[in-house]
Chains A and B, each alone.
Chain A
């Protein structure tokens, strides 16, 4: 089954990190992705730029409405995502628990949904 692991943390924690700490965290994530790939659990994933760079698009009455900022202001911000291949939720949770930001942020795990077959 496919699961999406959404990585959230308070960006203020990252901002407070030294260059070295930030470097180490990134290296740890790279190693984690390598391990997941070797196990055949990593489908894709991507870290994101800070929420400051977010722009939200809505279409209402056929009009495109663009606004600065994320869809919702939250205490923790979306920092990236993993698309994982796992046999069940237990395995997905176990994999998610090893994503480094889980130590200071939160990882939301959701089963992926498939679109119905094309008519």
Chain B
């Protein structure tokens, strides 16, 4: 590969998403914009070796792509699905306004995460369009069939076009309603990657890194407390990655992790984002979760954890999101602050809730508290219930190990 080819490839990696985001706005259609972008890069490969790389390659590519997009619209105007697209006046050369181009990134993200699209479609479309993954990469990263992912993406693009989902950043009045939906997609991408970091799947895509990258650019473009909070939360969780699994790939819980293996530099960056997030009041759910993660990161040893503060943070979180999972975590924190019996009392009060009694971690938490309270029979019974409900390999192995430890200590 020649030097110029390598340079074009690096320009593709660096700018293709921005070029695409702007072309979607200019030509008014996802599929047309993608084709136009590919053609613009093809033209660059033809012309740049002779003419040299332009000073502003992104602007060159946007202009070239826009011209090709307009040609395509003209050619297809008669086709039913493109009838609504208006051919822009050619004389009206596109003003390449830098601010507008920056905002195109946000337009693309908000459109991919529109609530009118089903969640799996939002995740697939975001990975495809925002992160530039191929359909095959999206499928392998999400452990789905490529045909399923391809169909989802095609359908989502069609709905964006036919239902008239606007290509815009919501205004200040709509933003509080729409931003959580975008953050949820990013956090889902993160969790897809995070929950699998100890799994067997070998994937060439790091969803954790993609999610963090998206949140970083969002934090740059949209200075909102919860954007900082989510970025902090992901950085702090990911900083513990090396300590989360042992040499055999088995889960290691927080109390047994080797804290010297935590990525201190990344924790520092996470804490800096958290401080920015806390400047915005009131603190939202991601900021509160990041504060909890930061409390753990701060403690040199598990015994040093400030459980009283963690209980307070879970209480604040529960007031915003009264979910059984948060109640479960709060009960565990109470058990650490006070006694296992206090935590068990809170957990037992939850057994009337259907969703929580089918959640393996609820029984795993009860088992753990019974074990610490010295009630081995109750602990065994609860571990067995948790095992009956757990699906993932590493979690099952973890529970089996705990059960075995219980018997060997008899």
A residues with CB within 8 A of B: 49-50, 52-55, 64, 66-69
Contact B118 A69 (CB under 8 A): yes
Contact A68 B121 (CB under 8 A): yes
Contact B159 A52 (CB under 8 A): yes
Contact B118 A55 (CB under 8 A): no
Q: Is B3 an interface residue (CB 8 A)?
A: no
Contact B117 A68 (CB under 8 A): yes
Contact A53 B115 (CB under 8 A): no
Of the candidates B116, B121, B155, the one whose C-beta lies within 8 Å of that of A66 is B116
What is the CB-to-nearest-CB distance from B141 to chain A, in angstroms, rounded to a whole number? 22
What is the CB-to-nearest-CB distance from A22 to chain B, in angstroms, rounded to a whole number? 9
CA of A50 to CA of B81, assembled, Å: 13
List the A residue with the shortest CB-CB distance to B120: A68
Contact B162 A68 (CB under 8 A): no
Contact residues, B96-140 vs A (CB, 8 A): 115-118, 121
Contact residues, B155-173 vs A (CB, 8 A): 155, 158-159, 162-163
What is the CB-to-nearest-CB distance from B200 to chain A, in angstroms, rounded to a whole number? 32
CA of A66 to CA of B165, assembled, Å: 13
Contacts A49-B163, A53-B163, A55-B163 given; does A66 touch B115 at CB 8 Å: yes
Taking CB atoms, residues of chain A closer than 8 Å to B115 are: 66-67
A-B contact pairs, 16 of them (CB 8 A): A49-B162, A49-B163, A50-B162, A52-B155, A52-B162, A53-B158, A53-B162, A53-B163, A54-B163, A64-B177, A66-B116, A67-B115, A68-B116, A68-B118, A68-B159, A69-B118
Contact B177 A53 (CB under 8 A): no
List the A residue with the shortest CB-CB distance to B164: A53
Taking CB atoms, residues of chain B closer than 8 Å to A66 are: 115-116
Interface size of B in residues (CB-CB distance below 8 Å): 11
Contact A55 B158 (CB under 8 A): no
Contact B158 A52 (CB under 8 A): yes
Taking CB atoms, residues of chain A closer than 8 Å to B155 are: 52
CA of A74 to CA of B153, assembled, Å: 23
What is the CB-to-nearest-CB distance from B366 to chain A, in angstroms, rounded to a whole number? 31
Taking CB atoms, residues of chain A closer than 8 Å to B117 are: 68
List the B residue with the shortest CB-CB distance to A68: B118
List the A residue with the shortest CB-CB distance to B116: A55
CA of A107 to CA of B158, assembled, Å: 27
What is the CB-to-nearest-CB distance from B161 to chain A, in angstroms, rounded to a whole number? 9
What is the CB-to-nearest-CB distance from A71 to chain B, in angstroms, rounded to a whole number? 14
Taking CB atoms, residues of chain A closer than 8 Å to B121 are: 68
What is the CB-to-nearest-CB distance from B111 to chain A, in angstroms, rounded to a whole number? 14
CA of A52 to CA of B117, assembled, Å: 10
CA of A58 to CA of B155, assembled, Å: 23
CA of A50 to CA of B121, assembled, Å: 18
CA of A66 to CA of B115, assembled, Å: 6
CA of A85 to CA of B155, assembled, Å: 38
CA of A5 to CA of B98, assembled, Å: 52
CA of A49 to CA of B161, assembled, Å: 11
CA of A52 to CA of B155, assembled, Å: 8
What is the CB-to-nearest-CB distance from A95 to chain B, in angstroms, rounded to a whole number? 29
CA of A55 to CA of B163, assembled, Å: 9
List the A residue with the shortest CB-CB distance to B121: A68
Taking CB atoms, residues of chain B closer than 8 Å to A67 are: 115, 118
List the B residue with the shortest CB-CB distance to A64: B177
CA of A67 to CA of B159, assembled, Å: 13
| The 5 nearest A-B residue pairs measured at CB | A66-B115, A68-B118, A53-B163, A55-B116, A53-B162
Contact residues, B134-155 vs A (CB, 8 A): 155
List the B residue with the shortest CB-CB distance to A54: B163
CA of A4 to CA of B155, assembled, Å: 31
Taking CB atoms, residues of chain A closer than 8 Å to B158 are: 52-53
